[in-house]
Amino acid sequence: MKLKIGEIAKRSNVPASTIRYYVGEGLLPRPEKANEKMAYYDEACIDRLRAIQDLKEKRYFPLYLIKNILRRMDEGLSLPEAETVENAVFGSNNRIGRGLVDRQTFLEVTGMTEKDLKQAEKLGILIPFTAGADKPLYNEDDVRVGRDGIRKLAGLGMAQDDLSFLVELGKKIVEKEMALRRKIVAGKSTRENILITAELTRIGDFYRDYLLRRLFQRQVEQNIQKSLKQSKNKTAKIRRQKTI
């Protein structure tokens, strides 16, 4: 059934201006033009608009992610199936969109200055949960990095530049992980690709944290063993000197 934009707006609770914007952004199909002043939209646009609003207002997904999710739905996937990857990458269903704060609130709760925040974002040691064309929003992890990470490290005399190696090495790890994912999903269907990617994301989050933590622990153990050995040698040397 074909409907005028006014009827689509009324039934979806989305303003006509927003509907036109979504059409321009490729989130909605272009209407059929009856003449220069009259166009008709497919009734299916109503469900599509509801999906867009749900993803935008409840999930806080930016439009480019929503467009990607809609593309999967056009290939036959349900909304829950289509957003599986985004949920896995950006957080579990019960966390997405919760606790997000704007830039001013972020500065207030972390105690960071605007100058420090700009530098941290420029270096890439703090990356807003959402950015792009929309105003940046920060989640609990961002707040912890700003408040319990960057500020406290600064109090210990560490400059933000000292952390840039984490970004450089992190990018290399991500590149390797992406290459591995492409290898694993090669030749798979869209549904299989999504499920595999979501599972790889969850495994990667766990394994990355586990491995770095273990490597750090082993390095600390080696440092302790080395320190104990040096202390033992020093004590033995002192004893020898006393017996001479």
Question: How many domains in the chain?
Answer: 3
The answer on 115 and 84 residing in a single domain is: no
Per-residue pLDDT at 94: 43
- Residue 54: inside a domain, yes or no? yes
Threshold 0.75, pTM exceeds? no
- Shared-domain flag, residues 106 and 140: yes
High-pLDDT (> 70) share of the chain, %: 95
**pLDDT confidence of residue 59:** 77
pLDDT at res. 97: 46
What are the mean pLDDT values of the chain's consecutive 10-residue runs (244 residues total)?
Answer: 92 94 93 86 93 85 88 89 86 53 93 95 92 77 94 93 95 95 94 93 93 96 93 84 72
pLDDT digits (tens, 9 = 90+) for 12-22: 999 999 999 99
- pLDDT at position 134: 60
Query: What pLDDT, on the 0 to 100 scale, is given for residue 33?
Result: 86
Is the Cβ–Cβ distance between 2 and 39 less than 8 Å? no
Q: Which domain holds residue 122?
A: 99-164
CATH code, 122: 1.10.1660.10
**Tokens 């056009």 belong to residue:** 74
User: Considering the domain boundaries, does residue 171 fall inside one?
Assistant: no
87 with 107, same domain: the answer is: no
pLDDT given at position 132:
58
Q: Identify whether 178 is part of a domain.
A: no
Please give the pLDDT value at position 95: 45
Q: Distance between CA 56 and CA 244 in Å, rounded?
A: 80
Whether residues 2 and 84 share a domain: the answer is yes
- Say whether both 41 and 87 belong to one domain: yes
Which residue stretches of the chain are H helix? Answer: 5-12, 16-24, 44-57, 63-74, 79-82, 84-90, 103-110, 114-123, 140-144, 151-155, 164-185, 190-243
Strands 39-42 and 2-3: antiparallel
Among the listed residues 129, 44, 123, the one whose alpha carbon sits nearest the alpha carbon of residue 90 = 129
Q: Are residues 104 and 75 in the same domain?
A: no
172 within domain boundaries: no
Residues 230-239: tens digit of each pLDDT: 988 888 888 8
Is residue 180 in a domain?
no
- 47 and 3 belong to one structural domain: yes
